[in-house]
Amino acid sequence: MDRRRIVTLNGFTGAATTVKDLEIAPDYYSERGTFQVTAGNTQAIQAVRARRYGGSRAVGATDDNGTIAYRCLVKGTSRDNALINAEAIFAILKTGRTDLFFEWRPDGATNSTFYEIRGPASVKATYNWGIYMGSSALFIDVEIPVGPLARVAPVQSTISSTALPATLTVASVAGSAPHVVDVGLSGPATGNPPIWAMIGWTPTPGTPLGSMSVPFGIIESSALNLTTFTSQASGSYSGGTAARATAAGNGLAAASVNVDPTTLAADDFTRDTIDIQVWARVILTSTLVSPQAILSVGGGIYGTQYGELGANGRYLVLPTTGTVLRFTYLGTITLPTKHLALLGWTVTVAMAWQAGSTGQVGIDYLAMVPARSVALSPTGKDPGAIGPFISAVSTSKRIYGGDLSGEAFQGVGIDWTTVMGRSSGLGGSLIEVPPNTGTNYFIKLSSLVPDAPTASAASEDLSHTCTGFFSTMPRYYLAK
């Protein structure tokens, strides 16, 4: 017999708790041949070309809700009891609760599949005098709106004690549709609270050509080709060294790296290209004058392109005193993922400073993430203007990848099934990963907001040591 139930699901383990069984003798039966799972319509987002015969091209898509529909026979030990049982179906399917799922397991199948109920159902009772009088039964037609994709219990991957920023790898999870991933971080127990966060992800990259780097995660200063900058050692720097110069008047220095974008998967709805955000942890002294950071990328005879901030890049906010390290956004570049595979692309970050400058200027490391696969806190705002990722040390934070909302708990090393309070989430892309392939995640936390407009003497912490988890929810177009 098929299993059809209304259930709730544990947000961490995926364990189902029955709210109402809709396929159980002697009260509820489904009529054979009436059960239907209908996928929602796909709405293509079209970019129209202005030329007469240019037509349009799909550049994105959204999917409507689907439906589950069937006819059930509701019986009772008496005619009054049949009405009570029918009323129970109306009561649960007409509710405004948002935590309900429809569980379906076809007869003979091994696994249940769960569909998120997206609103009150349409329910119609058919009264047939002969059936009601003779069998104490009614027919009820049910149509339930459900989410575009079905799901099963999540697969948990533990984050052991790790100093972030870092790139972490999660093994492939079976499925057919893109999976949604929740991320939990517990800690740190010391230092400043990480009030800002960024999570980037990509299918596990391939091996880069020659001496090139994968344009994902941290690229340490030791991998950079330096002009005017020199390598300087310090325990304050990632990897122990940074590219640094001493300013005396105006000047310009540059650091570059050859990257192999063919190691990454192309963005959806593109002609084999990927957009990459480039960030840097920079070194700045308060006595510099109008320091700038300029991002560019070149591919041999194919010329140079700049990020959206242009050839002048961005002016960096100086500290009020001393020499500090700050994380800053440099811009987004577009790279090919298939063509020109043997060419390689050179990503360059130049830093300029004006007459009258003294002090230190430099780059600790670069960080790269796919622009369409990154979730992050707001930038360019003062800390008081944003909801902090973690407002105090020894706090646990969970980000729900399906809507980027957040929950927090004051404490570390907790059981993640503990009830947590609502907290600020992230912006950017929903955390969705392809099925049946490993995924690399880059997680960066900061004790400062990148590019905050108000000057201060603060320097961001080098790292934050956390534990946590990735909770990957396998999804399917129809059923597991």
Whether residues 122 and 161 share a domain: the answer is no
SS3 252: strand
| Domains in the chain, number | 2
Would you state the pLDDT for residue 417?
65
Would you state the pLDDT for residue 243?
98
Whether residues 265 and 367 share a domain: the answer is yes
Would you state the pLDDT for residue 116?
97
Task: Determine how many CB atoms are found less than 10 A away from the CB of residue 295.
Answer: 27
CA 6 to CA 159: how far, in whole Å? 33
Which of 132, 150, 168 is the C-terminal boundary of a domain?
Answer: 150
Would you state the pLDDT for residue 420?
75
Which of 150, 166, 197 is the C-terminal boundary of a domain?
Answer: 150
Would you state the pLDDT for residue 118?
96
Whether residues 294 and 410 share a domain: the answer is yes
Whether residues 235 and 145 share a domain: the answer is no
> Could you tell me which of 349, 368, 330, 313 has the C-alpha nearest to residue 198?
368
Residue 378 is part of which domain span? 155-476
Whether residues 161 and 129 share a domain: the answer is no
Whether residues 410 and 446 share a domain: the answer is yes
Whether residues 302 and 433 share a domain: the answer is yes
For residue 314, give the CATH number of its domain: 2.60.120.260
Whether residues 185 and 118 share a domain: the answer is no
User: Where do we find the tokens 């059981």?
Assistant: 415
Would you state the pLDDT for residue 415?
62
Between strands 150-151 and 464-476, the pairing is antiparallel
Which of 150, 172, 200 is the C-terminal boundary of a domain?
Answer: 150
Q: What is the pLDDT along the chain (480 residues), one digit of tens a residue?
A: 899 999 999 888 889 999 999 999 999 999 999 999 999 999 999 999 888 898 998 989 999 999 999 999 999 999 999 999 999 999 999 999 999 999 999 999 999 999 999 999 999 999 999 999 999 999 999 999 999 999 999 999 999 999 999 999 999 999 999 999 999 999 888 899 999 999 999 999 999 988 899 999 999 999 999 999 999 999 999 999 999 999 999 999 999 999 999 999 999 999 899 999 999 999 999 999 999 999 999 876 677 899 899 999 999 999 999 999 999 999 999 999 986 555 679 999 999 999 999 999 999 999 999 999 999 999 999 998 888 999 888 889 999 999 999 999 887 665 666 667 889 999 999 999 999 999 999 999 999 999 999 999 999 999 999 999 999 999 999 988
CA 185 to CA 188: how far, in whole Å? 9
Whether residues 143 and 11 share a domain: the answer is yes
CA 305 to CA 367: how far, in whole Å? 19
Whether residues 33 and 84 share a domain: the answer is yes
Whether residues 39 and 181 share a domain: the answer is no
Whether residues 277 and 335 share a domain: the answer is yes
For residue 13, give the CATH number of its domain: 2.40.30.200
User: Where do we find the tokens 């059960």?
Assistant: 35
Would you state the pLDDT for residue 340?
57
- Please give the structure tokens belonging to residue 128: 């047939």
CA 133 to CA 125: how far, in whole Å? 15
The CA dihedral of 239, 243, 244, 249, to the nearest 10 degrees, is: -160
